[in-house]
Amino acid sequence: MSFSISGKTAIVTGAANGVGLAIGRHFLREGANVVFADMDEQALEHEMGERAAEEEAVRIFSGDLREKLTIANLLSLTVDAFEKVDILVNASRQMLTGNPLDSEKDGVEALLQQNLMTSLRLSQATAKRMIKQSDPDGEGPVGSIINLSSIAARRTHPELMAYSVSTAALDQMTRSLAVALAPKRIRVNAVAFGSVMSASLKGALKENSDFREEIVDHTPLNRIAAPSEVSDAVQYLASDASSFVTGQIITVDGGRTLIDPVTAPAH
């Protein structure tokens, strides 16, 4: 069983910081070509601009992936640079709190657009490219699409209703695309994670010194995950080691969904 992704080409969105950046860097270390995509051009340049200028295996792309033309441009850049795309990681996500009883402030529409529709449109376009570059008479894998989801899809935090709804929809999208693309030999899976030491969580911990203890108390493995622990799960799904795995939501949460009550911390 090989977890190798060496020589494969991956697009990683949300790659200017946090888990998306960690996944992109992890893939580079494992020998993949990686296109780091994000809306935040300044952060992207800061994190990966120098490497993109020096390394053949790295490209960066900034733009609003809610726009169809931006998606087309991202795929064009990828194919021009590496001739193909084998892996798509939809790691661009947004979390916000809102009032579930106020239609003007619940945030549902915004997060459905950002967390669901952007991933869906990019997945559809990337799958078409994967099919186009594949051997129609072949039997091997054609591509792997991995969505980053959240345990919020299965939890009930009213102030996070928009985030929970958008990630639950993303999970169902994952299953639906998995079945639709299976005849084309494209696998679609997701990684739903709990508390990971991302930039946003670090910020929250600075604001609330008791927050870390609350999270740890609600996590059976008694700690917060490192971004690399999500990256490892994503690599598994991107590699041929998971060649018979599709439509699955792999949970990386230290056991938190096994015991989490409604009152547990949101991150």
Digit-by-digit pLDDT tens for the chain (267 residues) are 579 999 999 999 999 999 999 999 999 999 999 999 999 999 999 999 999 999 999 999 999 999 999 999 999 999 999 999 999 999 998 888 888 888 888 899 999 999 999 999 999 999 999 999 998 888 889 999 999 999 999 988 899 999 999 999 999 999 999 999 999 999 999 999 999 998 778 887 888 878 889 899 999 999 999 999 999 999 999 999 999 999 999 999 999 999 855 555 555
Q: What is the pLDDT of residue 261?
A: 58
List all residues 6 or more positions away from 100 whose beta carbon is below 8 Å from its beta carbon: 106, 158, 159, 161
195: left (phi over 0), alpha (psi -120 to 50) or beta: beta
Q: What is the pLDDT of residue 24?
A: 98
Q: How far is CA 141 from the centre of its chain?
A: 20
Kindly report whether the global pTM for this prediction surpasses the value 0.85. yes
Residues linked to residue 186 through DSSP beta bridges, in sequence order: 143
The CATH number that domain 9-259 falls under is 3.40.50.720
CB 105 within 8 A of CB 98: yes
| Nearest-angstrom CA–CA distance, 200 and 45 | 19
Domain ranges across the chain:
9-259
| Nearest-angstrom CA–CA distance, 37 and 119 | 13
CB 160 within 8 A of CB 95: yes
